[in-house]
Amino acid sequence: MLQAACGSIAVIALNIPGLSGFPIHMTELFGIPIQALLGQLLLGLVNGSFYAVLSLGLAVIFGLLNIINFAHGALYMLGAFLAWMGLAYLGLNYWVMLVVTPLVVGAFGILLERTLIRHLYKLDHLYGLLLTFGITLLLEGLFRSMYGVSGQPYATPALLAGGVNLGFMYLPIYRGWVVVASLVVCFATWFVIEKTRLGALLRAGTENPKLVEAFGVNVPLVVTLTYGFGVGLAGFAGVLAAPVMQVSPLMGSNLIIVVFAVVVIGGMGSILGSIVTGLGLGIIEGLTKVFWPEASNTVVFIIMVIVLLLRPAGLFGKEK
């Protein structure tokens, strides 16, 4: 071991069996191998990608429709189960279900909005929260009775199997794909809503529907499609998650509380806030598992409390 001048960084040369002739130099930072640190950073980035996509859907629905959609986690679970069922029962591969599942979940969301949720727009937020919580319990109970709680495995698609040796760490190809796909979807959504005429129409239709209807725009249809798109993002995240974790009826409930915290920290209804905060908190959570593992499950909520004390509207939210 060669101690660096600062005393906190060390370099170790190792010969790993099967890789003779290719010594790997492991650098330690504060006594932690840099490979372990980068591995947790990657894991945090992957988790942050899920946080970003899910919180983006919540932000779209709340920011444009003013509905707190507690069923978002259950719809994320539904997306994962649809991907698994498509492969198990119909032989439809990952790539087909990556396209089909968001459309099916979005159509299911449109059905919910048409039949139940649209009656709550003028009522207190609590009514929407209770209704979507009931939908969550219904979906989770249905899949729990059909498949149990142990979870179903979903194989990584062959095209994305394996990994790449970057020299300083081993990067699983699928986890890299999750990060890239999530970033593309998140920033494409932000661009459409914030920078295009369609996004301006969506915002205007929810802020002043009577004025927009005077120009011949079907505002109820716009609202319905917006809700369908928001829950379609949850279905998309579910398909991405299927090869990474067990497809279980409880996978959504285990994640939704953290995602709500992400939305609150970023600012309720802030599109950019949900994306940046989701990615950032995933990374912070991953690094916390290295330096202070006991706090890794609570660090997001600690940050939420601090942000609410200093800036109640959230980091990217607007004060009313």
Q: What is the pLDDT of residue 238?
A: 95
Is the pLDDT assigned to residue 319 strictly greater than 50? yes
Instruction: Kindly report which listed range (15-24, 274-283, 285-294) carries the lowest average pLDDT score.
Output: 15-24
Instruction: Kindly report which listed range (83-92, 104-113, 221-230, 310-319) carries the lowest average pLDDT score.
Output: 310-319
Cβ pair 156, 174 in contact under 8 A? yes
Averaged over 267-288, what is the pLDDT?
Answer: 89
Cβ pair 232, 103 in contact under 8 A? yes
Q: What is the pLDDT of residue 151?
A: 85
Averaged over 261-282, what is the pLDDT?
Answer: 89
The whole-angstrom separation of Cα 110 and Cα 95 is 23
DSSP string for residues in 13-24: EE--TT-TT--E
The whole-angstrom separation of Cα 242 and Cα 248 is 9
H or E element at residue 289: helix 271-291
The whole-angstrom separation of Cα 31 and Cα 92 is 47
Q: What is the pLDDT of residue 21?
A: 41
Contacts of 21 (CB under 8 A, 6+ apart): none
Backbone φ/ψ region at 179: left (φ over 0), alpha (ψ -120 to 50), beta: alpha
Q: What is the pLDDT of residue 120?
A: 85
Q: What is the pLDDT of residue 211?
A: 77
Please state, for a pLDDT cut of 90, what percent of the chain lies above it: 43
Instruction: Kindly report which listed range (31-35, 85-89, 99-103, 253-257) carries the lowest average pLDDT score.
Output: 31-35
Q: What is the pLDDT of residue 31?
A: 62
Q: What's the mean pLDDT when you consider all of the chain?
A: 84
Averaged over 292-300, what is the pLDDT?
Answer: 86
Read off the pLDDT band of 229 (50, 70, 90). Answer: very high
Cβ pair 100, 79 in contact under 8 A? no
Contacts of 272 (CB under 8 A, 6+ apart): 190, 194, 266, 316
Can you give the pTM of this predicted structure? 0.84
Read off the pLDDT band of 212 (50, 70, 90). Answer: confident
Please state, for a pLDDT cut of 70, what percent of the chain lies above it: 88
Cβ pair 276, 229 in contact under 8 A? no
14 phi/psi in degrees, rounded to 5 = -125, 145
- Give first-to-last CA distance, the chain, whole Å: 57
Averaged over 202-229, what is the pLDDT?
Answer: 80
Beta partners for residue 12, in sequence order? 26
Q: What is the pLDDT of residue 30?
A: 60
Q: What is the pLDDT of residue 201?
A: 80
Contacts of 233 (CB under 8 A, 6+ apart): 53, 54, 56, 57, 60, 102, 185, 189
H or E element at residue 206: helix 197-207
How far out from the chain centre does Cα 161 lie?
22
Q: What is the pLDDT of residue 303?
A: 93
Question: What is the CB neighbour count within 10 angstroms for residue 223?
Answer: 21
The whole-angstrom separation of Cα 193 and Cα 185 is 12
Averaged over 138-150, what is the pLDDT?
Answer: 91
Q: Which two tokens stand for residue 196?
A: 């295009």
Is the pLDDT assigned to residue 101 strictly greater than 70? yes
Q: In this predicted model, which residue has the larger pLDDT, 244 or 30?
A: 244
Is the pLDDT assigned to residue 20 strictly greater than 60? no
